[in-house]
Amino acid sequence: MLTLFKKIFTWWNQDTIGTKVKTIFFGKLVGKDSFGNKYYESKKGKRWVIYSNEVDASKIPVEWYSWIHFTPNKIEKIHELKKYSWQKTHQPNLTGTDKAFYPNKNNDINKKKYKVWKN
């Protein structure tokens, strides 16, 4: 019962009932990415994504970013988008986690580049 209420009233866990209804009646499945996200388009041209797990906009990989934002990318149309060995895998937004980047993360925090005046 609690999961039903959670599904109806919260959007941050996954898609809501309204999104499910819209997807069933008006959505045409365009494709699926490596994370399991599903991409839909309506007859009017509106586009949306149904995330596989946690809803996070940074989970849209490069292959689908230009499509979801209506940006034509000639390179993707001509060539199949290849992954090279030197390319890193896609990561979600890590802000607020232990893996987040910030300067001087590994250096001593108390180390200063100036001297404090003494009275």
Question: Given this model, what pLDDT does residue 46 score?
Answer: 92
Tens of each residue's pLDDT in the chain, 119 residues: 667 776 666 666 667 777 888 888 999 999 998 888 999 999 999 999 998 877 778 788 877 888 888 887 665 554 566 778 888 877 778 888 888 877 766 655 556 667 777 76
Cβ atoms within 10 Å of 67's Cβ, excluding its own: 18
Instruction: Report phi then psi at 50, rounded to 5.
Output: -110, 115
Give the closest residue to 63 by CA, choosing from 86, 81, 47: 81
Question: Is-above-0.85 flag for pTM?
Answer: no
